[in-house]
Structure 1
Amino acid sequence: MGLEDALSSGIGSGSAVPHQAFYARTSEHGFETCVEHLCMTGCLSGGFAQQFGHGKDGLLAGLFHDIGKYSQAFQKRIRNPERYGKVDHSTAGALFLVQHGCSAASFAAIGHHTGLPDMGGLGELEGSTYSARMNRACSAGNKNPLVLADAWKSQLHVPASAFMENTEAGREIGRENKNRSFYSEMMLTRMLLSTLVDGDRLDAEFFTSNREDRAEHELLARLKERLGGERLAEEQAPSWNTLREAALSAADSFANESDARIAQLAGIVEAIARKYFDKPDKTPLDEKRCELLERCLDRGRDESCGPGLYTLTAPTGSGKTFSSIAFALEHARTHGLQRVIYVIPYTSIIDQTVGQFERIFGIDAVLPHYAEAPYQLKDESDMDENDLKRVLAAENWNAPIVVTTAVQFFESLYSNKTSRCRKLHNIANSVIVFDEAQTLPVPYLRPCVRVIAELVERYGATAVLCTATQPELKPLFDRAFDGAEARIPEISPFSDADRDTFRRVTVDCIGDIGLDALADRLGEHRQVLCVVNTRKKAQYLYGRLAGDDSAGDGEENSAEGVFCLTTLQCAADRRLLLEEIRVRLAADEPCRVVSTSLIEAGVDVDFPVAYREESGLDSIIQTAGRCNREGRRSAEESMVYVFSTEGGCAPFLKQNIEAFRRVSERCADADVMADTAIRGYFSEMLDMLGDASLDKRHILRLHENDANLPFERIAERFKLIDTPTVPVYIPLSGEGEALCDRLERNDIDRTLFRRLGKYAVNVWPKHLQQLLSAGSVEPVGRGASPEEDCFILRDMGLYSSRLGLSVDVAAADGIFI
């Protein structure tokens, strides 16, 4: 059956009510016509897509995504929803678009409610794949509920020429990129889904609730006025040229608003920078920080440094965070980019970055988007104006500065879900700063590099790899840019002499040492940090220190100044312990901390001496960043001791340790924290891991060698935190107990699990079974499958705020690189 037949067969005399109005939705104040919804959505989607050169595709996707609402089945449903069930209104538009050569827009249309499906087989009829839905639509004949009334043809005025490639120069809608790979086609499809979902949701919200706290409210009002509200209500769409110009005007409005916001924030940065530069009596360290900041500002203003891929390799303590945001804002203003997205690997450090940005730029300029952001934990009734604005902005990242996690950022780009994909179009034309770039997850390293390259190459983004320990990623980027050599200039090159200015510690490799001897040595220090590779070792050392009355400082209770930090404690307790640790450090009170690598994740503490169990060089440098952090002591007296312990190294760290040993042997007496050593370490790591280890879930293979376009399969596989651990919730007195009680009663809302997150301890399946067998935990809130069950700790004797949950974890410890 052909296109017109598939969409119109069975529609003739008697099949459509004369002068019947066709509605897309209803609200308390009336009905929105299909014409109004399609035109508003189309112009919004087209305007969003114009930002990356595919405005025509976005406009067409929006204009036809809901033509399925012209079916009698849907019109009966909207007039009497209690009597008539749900109607598929997405497939008709998808069929129309694909048969007019708009394949990516067709996928977007079919997935604008349920998400992007896999392509499926050519002759497939069963299931929810794209092919199955298309085939069913074409073969159902007159019984097909998708058959449309002829009214849609007379109400939408889109000429056949609109579906042909637009070759006009200048501000044309639709810039086709020839010879795109499967990967690029799939990423374009996700981007078009983003524009369509955002346009669709914005128009729906505008019609039903007209929220004035929505940042796009004024733009929506102007767009409706331009298109003619009365005309749309009378079911007549403007001409194709009018729609096209309206979409272009919307794109210009987005850009102009962004330009104004970015210029304002860049002005704030410059004012602060002037104060730094004009400060009298600067120390040598202050001078070097100012040099870094000045170079970042200069490169940001340099018109020849266009959108692209950059590194910012700056030592710890150099003011890297402020300098990086300064470059990002100046660069965005110079090149007309629309926002800055700051991607942070760990939730443990995101609060302090958000706090710093809010103090500088104001709360209204910064969108923190992560599960435990304060506004995410509130019920709407408890939110103030800023909270409400942030909730709305988090849906589509319409904010000048977005601070988010690496998990949120990368998983969204590989997702097929509408809620996750909605914000993707606002990543285009942005400056993306990847803080602690060395933490990109090894099993997904090639897909992460590939999508960064795609954003730079096809979506006008600038990416900045920002870290003190720059990984050697150029070979991977060379491949990601289709074999073309990647150009990755350094924003602010540092000489060895420059780095010496920031050197605050001395690293000493002391070799093997027993745990008991190590505990004795730690007890000799009044204040000391020791980072080990497993939770079991941390707990053992804590026990030795806490029970050793010969600690040497005369405390009545030596355990008072001893702390253990592991993921066996819930986040709420770790936060309280860290506050206590900071107080003791500042007061020069005894403070001996044994921790797993979690303290390396940018936690702001300052010890006079540190010990680090042998690991990767990047981890050792991160531990060194917790020693003499404020530079109050000389580097020579601020020691970081690297050691190994009996029993061999953990299997998951063998390659990291081997790479570190090779580099340290080559360095001999040279500084293992020098830039050459760091790059050498990462090169060794990549060589030892091998190509297959950098894409363990075959994400790129599914993109590049599979015409099946498996959107759903890829989304299921791409999980940066993909461990089999299960959360056990700890009913700590107060909020923890109250939240666990709500979970038991199935009193669940959108915030419950976010709030419960800080009371969770993630345990491995074998330990969960041990706890279940002993009756120590109880399953509650059962889900659709055992994997979705929730568990609450019943035997609180197994949990200590100082030590965590008592389980044998020797065989299941792990860290992330």
Structure 2
Amino acid sequence: MPELYARKDDEGSVQTLFDHLHNTARLAGEFEDEFGETAQTAAIHHDEGKAKEDFQQYLFADDAKRGSVIHAYQGAFTISEIPAASAAEKLTQEILELDIASHHGDLPDCIAPSGDESFFDKMSEANKGEEKYHYQEVKENIPELELDTDARFERSVKETQILLERLMHAGFYKQESLYFSLGQYVKYIFSRLVDADRLDAGNFSSHQQLASHKPDWQQLVDRFEKNIGAFDSTSPINKIRSEISEACFNAADRPAGIYKLAVPTGGGKTLASLRFALHHALQTQKSHIIYVSPYLTITTQTTKSFRDILDLPKESDILLEHYSSVMNSDDDDDGKEDGSTINRRKLAAERWDNPIIVTTMVQFLETVMSSHGTKLRKFHNMANSVIVFDEIQSIPVNAINLFNEVVSFLSKILNCTILLCSATQPLLDKTDRHNLLLSENPDLIEDSDKYAAALKRTNIVPIPQEKDLDELADFVMERAKENGNCLAIVNLKSEARKLYQHLEELNADGEFALVHLSTSMCGKHRANELKKMIKLLESHQPIICVSTQLIEAGVDISFACVVRAMAGLDSVLQSAGRCNRNGESKEAKNVYVVSIKNERGLEKLKDIKLGKEITNRLVQDHPGVDLLSDDMLNEFYEFYFAPRQAEMDYPIDSSHNIYTMLSSNEYDRNRYMDRTSKRYGHQLAQAFRTASDQFHVIPNLTKDVLVPYAKDKNDTEFSDILDAFEKGDTKTKIRSLRLLQDYSVSLFDYEIEKLSEAHAISVIDSEFGISLLDKQYYKSEYGVVLETEMSPLFA
């Protein structure tokens, strides 16, 4: 018979279908040591639907419409015809059918939202017989492809049996947790298939094999130890930091598991956790270290700290900083893409194969909750990794049970070590579901209380009278004059702008340098403002900083005084970590907590609103008690979590939540029976696509937009990078995309709508979905503004 082909490029080169299937299977199998047979089985069948005449004609036609020939379902049909009697055989079959049929886009809902049909109904004989599939023709051509279906399936079933045994042994015996983990396993195998498929396509189009970034942990450990050995450890605080770092070093020989690192603010948590991660990765042969931060400010500073301590240049492939959707692209491939486009897309959709990845909680959660191949592509590279979650108290309450299930699966099934870091450890393991499977003796530092006492450098001072922003500005100015500087942290961006403007009026004589920080600024802008602020603080010049909560965790600065708008006790304590951080004053300095009058806007920020109410209650119920104590923090978390157990499942409405959608999904099972009068007879019922569409770490956050930020009139860095992106070759474009992350701002729905109405946003690259904000709508003081001319109290 004529040769069967998988793809061609514009230069006339062709790849045989045999080579593509076997290459993809090999890659999928080699990614990780475990569950390789199942990944290979999915990969060897994923494109068997190309073994038919209409696809071969489509491939070589000049005017064929992309995606017009269906070729993903046929491999799933083949799997569905394998006799399956045992529970493990049926489950293996369902996993493979889902992943193979969906590899060009999204994992589907197992049961249609209407309840009228299920995905598995499509495996029926009647469906296979539809003309659009040409399945009989594919079956006749399969022997030429040497797929070895039965033997591969049998080996896959053995892996499913191992998976089920491991789930039960690890503690996933509750039905909901068990089904949730099975859904994660579907995504994991899907990730290996999608990445292998697109990687082989990229290798073909570029005529070279993309090399993986293999970690040399010993070299990185040696660099770390050499540089940290040069740190000054003579001051009392630095001695404590050194002890904490040494404790993390000594804990590195623990087995893979889920651990906690409770370090008081200013205790050197970032480098201590990296020390643990590096030594643990070396001793347990982990593939990656993934560092997850809640805020972009922390991500930027963490990346710089890591590069400095590891002697890494900014362009080093050892460390990947990934936090912006500017780098995302949809790269579904049907064999018709020209080589350069495939290669650009494959490289731009980060695979997370670098030894060290620094990212955000938004990126992490929206990856593991996604159903889309482009986002899930990197999921398998989380396996066998050390994953450090910094400032874990910042996790949204509605995502807690989802987070707990995911990290438990990553640890117990995919051999990850999870480290949960915070000065204020939330009670994640005390939820009603009890689904965070902590290791035995989970604390890396057993006697952290002694460090909390030794590192106490502040007093929390609640102010009994509420203040409006005018009065708050007066209060901040008074404290700044008393102390030489002051940091004011508020809950809302609009409050930060107004408070800054009031302070400008009070500071007409220029006595203080004024700095404003918010997420309306791009990362480069915030980084420059932080540099300026640190320089002023180090030279003991008068300065007032007004910021939203982005500054209260992971930012290594020290003010003589902090004023914090009333918020959750965890936020208040994090804010206190920016005051007298290095013990500059032997006497404890004051952190003033002030309630703001008529704080409009908190209705949409439930976590902040509730936290503020609980802290107010603690202040009233325990007058004079030290709010920094563990007892107060534990009481705060008990009040904070106790009434919100149902909320932790990420509710969509009164009858739906994402947790159950991604586990047993009894609601849709029952609705299927009601609509079809048939019992839903399959093990997997997860609503992958609906859950993905409904899940947002930050609700109503639409997209990232590039902003034309320049430090001064001589700063051309942004325009130079953008010009390089638009004119450069593939390698230059990818490098430029990474640099452009620093010039992106995440905008909400209403902001996009208002700016679009003003024609302030233009698309500059439709393929990558990159948009640019008009320079009139980006201000040096505030970042993105919604009007070109701001009123004196622009909100």
Tell me the TM-score normalised to structure 2 length. 0.78
Over aligned residue pairs, what C-alpha RMSD do you find? Answer: 4.3
Note if contact 2:399-2:649 (Cα within 8 Å) is conserved in structure 1. Answer: yes
Q: Give the match for residue 600 of structure 1.
A: 552
1:71 aligns with 2:58: no
Between the two proteins, what is the percent identity of the paired residues? 27
CA distance in 1, matches of 2:180, 2:791: 41
Matched residue, 1:346: 295
Q: Distance in 2 between matches of 1:428 and 1:372?
A: 22
Residues 660 and 688 of structure 1: is their aligned pair in 2 closer, same or farther, counting only changes over 3 Å?
farther
C-alpha distance in structure 2 between counterparts of 1:138 and 1:189, whole Å? 23
Pick the aligned partner of 1:718 from 690, 695, 700.
695
Name the CA distance, whole Å, in 1 between partners of 2:543 and 2:263: 30
* Whole-angstrom distance in 2 between the partners of 1:547 and 1:95: 72
Task: Indicate if the aligned counterparts of 2:77 and 2:123 stay in contact, CA closer than 8 A.
Answer: no
Q: Deviation of residue 762 (structure 1)?
A: 6.6
CA deviation after TM superposition for structure 1 residue 611, in Å: 0.6
Match for 1:586 among 499, 517, 538?
Answer: 538
Aligned amino acid, residue 781 of structure 2: S
Alpha-carbon distance change, 352 to 139 in structure 1, aligned in 2, over 3 angstroms: same
Taking structure 1 as reference, are residues 141 and 737 closer, same or farther at Cα in structure 2, changes over 3 Å only? Answer: closer
Unaligned runs of 5+ in 2: 83-89, 169-174, 330-342, 666-683
Does 1:156 pair with 2:153?
no
Q: Does 1:177 align with 2:159?
A: no
Alignment pair present for 1:510 and 2:435: no
What is the count of residue pairs matched by the alignment? 714
Q: Which has the higher contact order (CA 8 A, sep 6+)?
A: 2
SS of match in other structure, 2:584: coil
Distance 2:583 2:424 in 1: 19
1:571 is displaced (CA, Å) by 5.3
Q: Answer yes or no: is the 8 Å Cα contact 2:400–2:428 preserved in 1.
A: no
Structure 1 letter corresponding to 2:6: A
Out of 486, 504, 526, which is 1:546 matched to? 504
Question: What is the rounded CA distance, in whole Å, between the counterparts of 2:181 and 2:786 in structure 1?
Answer: 49
Q: What's the offset of the Cα at 1:575?
A: 4.2
Determine helix, strand or coil for the equivalent of 1:147. Answer: helix
* Structure 1 segment 659-698 matched on structure 2, within 5 A: 659-664=614-619, 668-697=623-652, 698=657
1:520 to 2:474 alignment: yes
Q: 2:96 aligns with which of 105, 108, 112?
A: 105
CA 1:599–1:142: 2 relative to 1, 3 Å = closer
* Residue 447, structure 1, aligned to residue 402, structure 2: yes
Residues 24 and 810 (structure 1), Cα distance of their counterparts in 2 relative to 1, 3 Å cut: farther
Change (3 A) 1:267 1:155: same
Deviation at residue 577 of structure 1 after TM alignment? 3.5
Match of 1:206 in 2: 203
Aligned to 2:220: 265
1:645 aligns to what?
Answer: 596
Distance 1:166 1:622, change over 3 A: closer
Conserved 8 A contact 2:520-2:782: no
Match of 1:564 in 2: 516
**Partner residue of 1:423 out of 378, 391, 410:** 378
Mapping of residues 631-642 of structure 1, within 5 Å: 631-636=583-588, 638-642=589-593
Show the counterpart of 1:9. Answer: none
Q: 1:120 to 1:144 in 2, by over 3 A?
A: farther
Alignment check: 8 A CA contact 1:58 1:192 kept? yes
Residue 450 of structure 1 aligns to a residue in which SS?
helix
TM-aligned CA distance change 1:490 to 1:530, over 3 Å: same
Distance 2:65 2:206 in 1: 25
- Per mean C-alpha deviation after superposition, the further-off stretch among 507-516 and 398-407 is 507-516
User: Which of 179-188 and 347-356 deviates more?
Assistant: 179-188
Change (3 A) 1:285 1:772: closer
Change (3 A) 1:146 1:674: farther
- 2:579 corresponds in structure 1 to 627
Partner of 2:353: 398
State the 1:132 CA deviation: 4.3
What letter matches 1:106 in structure 2? E
Pairwise CA distance, 1:521: 3.0
CA distance in 1, matches of 2:630, 2:792: 35
The Cα of 1:62 is off from its aligned counterpart by 1.5
1:139 aligns with 2:129: yes
Q: Is the 8 A contact 1:736 1:759 kept in 2?
A: no
Counterpart code for 1:177: L
Letter in 1 for 2:290: I
Q: Distance in 1 between matches of 2:659 and 2:28?
A: 28
Equivalent in the alignment of 2:781: 801
Change (3 A) 1:573 1:61: closer
Q: Which amino acid aligns with 1:801?
A: E
Note if 1:117 corresponds to 2:117: no
Q: Which amino acid aligns with 1:113?
A: H
Q: CA deviation at 1:289?
A: 1.8
Deviation at 1:629, TM superposition (A): 2.5
User: Aligned residue for 1:655?
Assistant: 610
Which amino acid in the other structure matches residue 75 of structure 1? Q
Contact 2:614/2:639, CA 8 A, preserved across alignment? yes
Change (3 A) 1:117 1:389: closer
Q: Does the 8 Å CA contact 1:120/1:131 hold for their aligned counterparts?
A: no
- Structure 1's 213 and 641: CA in aligned 2 closer, same or farther, altered over 3 A? same
Query: Does 2:33 match 1:46?
Result: no
Q: Aligned-pair distance for 1:517?
A: 3.8
Q: CA deviation at 1:311?
A: 0.2
| 2:262 counterpart letter in structure 1 | T
Residue 585 of structure 1 aligns to a residue whose secondary structure is helix
Provide the secondary structure at the position in 2 that maps to 1:547.
helix
Aligned pair in 2 of structure 1 residues 115, 475: CA closer, same or farther (>3 Å)? same
Structure 1 stretch 600-609 or stretch 204-213: which is displaced more?
A: 204-213
- Give the partner amino acid of 1:642: V
Cα distance in structure 1, aligned partners of 2:183 and 2:241? 43
Moved more, 330-339 or 763-772: 763-772
Amino acid in the other structure paired with 1:71: K
Change (3 A) 1:421 1:130: farther
1:316-355 equivalent positions in 2, closer than 5 A: 316-355=265-304
Per the alignment, residue 227 of structure 1 pairs with: none
Query: Which SS does the other structure have where 1:471 is aligned?
Result: coil
Equivalent-residue separation in structure 2 for 1:764 and 1:83 (angstroms): 38
The answer to whether structure 1 residue 476 and structure 2 residue 431 are counterparts is yes
Shift of 1:670: 4.4
Instruction: Classify 1:646/1:758 alpha carbon distance in 2 versus 1 (closer, same or farther; 3 Å).
Output: same
Q: Structure 1 length normalisation: TM-score?
A: 0.76
**Paired residue secondary structure (2:57):** helix
> SS of 1:512's equivalent?
coil
In 2: Cα distance, 1:167 partner to 1:729 partner: 48
Partner of 1:6: none
- Say which is worse superposed, 323-332 or 142-151, in terms of deviation: 142-151
Cα distance, 1:98 vs. partner? Answer: 2.9
| Structure 1 alignment gaps of length 5 or more | 1-16, 217-256, 378-387
Residue 700 of structure 1 is matched in structure 2 by 659
Q: Could you tell me whether the CA contact under 8 Å between 1:89 and 1:146 is conserved in 2?
A: no
Q: What is the SS of the residue equivalent to 1:431?
A: strand
- The residue that corresponds to 1:610 in the other structure is 562
Which residue of structure 1 aligns with residue 677 of structure 2? Answer: none
Does the 8 Å contact 2:368/2:379 carry over to 1? yes
Quote the Cα distance in structure 2 between the aligned partners of 1:436 and 1:200: 36
The equivalent residue for 1:22 is 4
CA distance in 2, matches of 1:570, 1:504: 32
- Kindly name which structure, 1 or 2, has the bigger radius of gyration based on alpha carbons: 1
> Cα offset for 1:395?
2.9
Following superposition, the deviation at residue 563 of structure 1 comes to 3.2
